Amino acid sequence: MNMKYSLSLGIALVFQTPYVFAAATETNTVDNQDGTFTYTQKINKDSTSPHYVAPSGYGFNYYSHSGQDYGWQHSFSEASNPLVKIQSATLLIRGFDIDSEAFHGTSGEYDGISVDGNDLNPGLLQGTNGTWSETPFDVPTSYILDDGLMDVFLDIDMNHNYVWWKTTLDYSLLTITYAITANDAPYTPTLNGSPQGCATANNDFVVDVSNSDNADPDGDAVSYEYRWFVDIGQGEVVDDEVAGKTDHTGNTVLSSEVNAGETWRVQVIATDSNGLVSDPAFFTWMLGENDSDCDGINDNNDDYPNDDKRASNNYSVESTLAYEDLWPDKGDYDLNDLVITNRFNVIKDANGLVKQIDLTGSIQARGATLASGFAIAFSGTTSANVESINMAINGQSEAVTAEAGHSSELVVAVLKNTHSATNDSLTYSFFNTQSGDERSVIPVTMSLIFVEPVNPLAIGNAPFNPFIYRVSDRGREVHLPNYAPTALANTGFFKTGADNTEVGGETYMTPAGHPWALEISTSWLHPMESVDIIQAYPAIQDWAESRKARGATWYSTPVSGKCWKCN
């Protein structure tokens, strides 16, 4: 019953039941004359400590609301007897005006019951407006036999923190049927559910017991009892028939009973030929609402609607990387020793963490006599977090592993040797840097998948930290200006030749600010072989020497005849 109007009357409401209450806590044991006993204990408003201490103005026999939660204690003195074996244990709670009808959605009256701090199944008291109802809960035997005490707690109107729904309880009845025997109860079932992981409304739900061949320590025959629960929008599971479904008693729920957005749970209890029972085992299926992979992202907004490890593509703008390989000397300073385009797709999961990084690029030019490798360093992760690396050069797959020797970052060699990737001509010793040499660019792809998703702030932005290194001298790395060397870099080259690298300050630049590597945020026509880049693009000098403060579009004004295809 919704109580917002009754509260305005300003009176205390005490609900009287239409029959006489038990005078106090009732505890009885009945000998069933078949070797078993049935123990019952009823707790109500007249029960006293330690079973129940009535709060002031609420509790049993009072209409109580959110913020007036209360508890009580059941006891079972035979729990200390090691020969006591429980055949069944139920907790039945009788209440009035429990508005848990499914049509309320999450706004209904949902009153949770827990024992010793553990939620029970079903997760809620079950009932309808203005009626008395009884909710049975199966109680795991371990909750009883550990110390013989069961602390029960009622969480009233769980979805509100203000006065809205009210209910009153008549009593709580614990019923235990047990035997005194040396025989042991069956093992708790081990369940295999199908489908595994995320389920859809097109699936039948099937549960199997995988330890049925070894189900009982005494070798007794064992049968299984199935009880099904479903949450159709309340926020907690209730018995399937209470939610308007079929009362399932077997190991299968057909897809015709299943709707998107629901949560289904099956409870399985093993019973041996002596009537002894196991603790219950559970298997749960969660169905997303228009969320096929149950990752919390609606299918319409999910780039990977059937993959719960991936949710969004995040593409970088295609850019061009260009390198001069004679660092720390300037050499011919044509910055065409490797020219490679790149575009990254940083694939994130539903939590915004990076699960995968894909690179799509192409080798535009190689104007180097010395063989170089091209690699990318990723901060914020290490080689131990790599699930796989897939690489293809000109359509040919290559085996790739993370480079060893890096304990605080991940380094992946995309091109192990720029010469072997581009040396396919008997006419030209270089690749697309000489007059008349206009071969097709060479596609390069890489897919890097992490075991555990990585914080995007830790890993940084594309193109991350790309660099070249001398194949014959691995420590001779050439990075973009102001990027850090890796652990394998030979820092003895710093401040030699034309280099002015200062650890912790400016890196990979001359004293004037001229770099050995460039990132150009577009496609680019690189200088011809042995043509100083300042001759091909005069505006780059002011851009470099102003530390990028001026001339940001230097790459758009080439000198005709000085760069590849810019005649």
Is residue 333 located within the same domain as residue 469? yes
Q: Is residue 566 one of the residues assigned to a domain?
A: no
Q: Is residue 185 one of the residues assigned to a domain?
A: no
Is residue 260 located within the same domain as residue 146? no
Distance separating alpha carbons of residues 250 and 269, to the nearest angstrom: 12
Q: Is residue 312 one of the residues assigned to a domain?
A: no
Instruction: Please report the DSSP string for 286-323 in residue order.
Output: EB-SS-TT-SSS-GGG-SSTT-TT--B--BPPPEEEEE
**Which residue, of 286, 310, 345, is where some domain finishes?**
286
Q: Is residue 567 one of the residues assigned to a domain?
A: no
Q: Is residue 446 one of the residues assigned to a domain?
A: yes
Q: Is residue 251 one of the residues assigned to a domain?
A: yes
Distance separating alpha carbons of residues 244 and 234, to the nearest angstrom: 13
Q: Is residue 49 one of the residues assigned to a domain?
A: yes
Q: What total of structural domains would you count in the chain?
A: 3
Q: Is residue 565 one of the residues assigned to a domain?
A: no
Query: How many angstroms from the chain centroid is the CA of residue 161?
Result: 29
Q: How confident is the model at residue 423 (pLDDT cuts 50, 70, 90)?
A: confident
Q: What is the pLDDT of residue 8?
A: 29
Residues near 409 by Cβ (< 8 Å), separated by ≥ 6? Answer: 377, 378, 379, 380, 381, 382, 486, 487
Q: Which has the minimum average pLDDT: 169-178, 290-299, 320-329, 376-385?
A: 290-299
Q: Residue written as tokens 């000098």?
A: 541
Q: What is the pLDDT of residue 68?
A: 95
Distance separating alpha carbons of residues 553 and 567, to the nearest angstrom: 20
Length of the chain as a residue count = 567
Is residue 257 located within the same domain as residue 338? no
Q: What is the pLDDT of residue 63?
A: 94
Instruction: Supply the pTM of this predicted model.
Output: 0.63
Distance separating alpha carbons of residues 418 and 370, to the nearest angstrom: 9
Distance separating alpha carbons of residues 45 and 170, to the nearest angstrom: 8
Distance separating alpha carbons of residues 132 and 59, to the nearest angstrom: 17
Q: What is the pLDDT of residue 23?
A: 37
Q: How confident is the model at residue 158 (pLDDT cuts 50, 70, 90)?
A: confident
**Which residue, of 263, 286, 309, is where some domain finishes?**
286
pLDDT in tens, 477-527: 999 999 999 999 999 999 999 999 998 899 999 999 999 999 999 999 999
Please give the mean pLDDT across all residues of the chain: 92
Q: What is the pLDDT of residue 24?
A: 55
Is residue 428 located within the same domain as residue 548? yes
Is residue 276 located within the same domain as residue 372? no
Q: What are phi and psi of 4, to 5 degrees?
A: -65, -25
Q: Does pLDDT of 9 surpass 60?
A: no
Q: How confident is the model at residue 22 (pLDDT cuts 50, 70, 90)?
A: very low
Name the residue range of residue 206's domain.
Answer: 191-286
Q: What is the pLDDT of residue 293?
A: 82
Q: What is the pLDDT of residue 104?
A: 80
Is residue 162 located within the same domain as residue 201? no
Is residue 26 located within the same domain as residue 146? yes
Mean pLDDT of 82-87: 95
Mean pLDDT of 337-358: 97
Q: Which has the minimum average pLDDT: 14-23, 354-363, 550-559?
A: 14-23
**Which residue, of 150, 180, 210, is where some domain finishes?**
180
Q: What is the pLDDT of residue 349?
A: 97
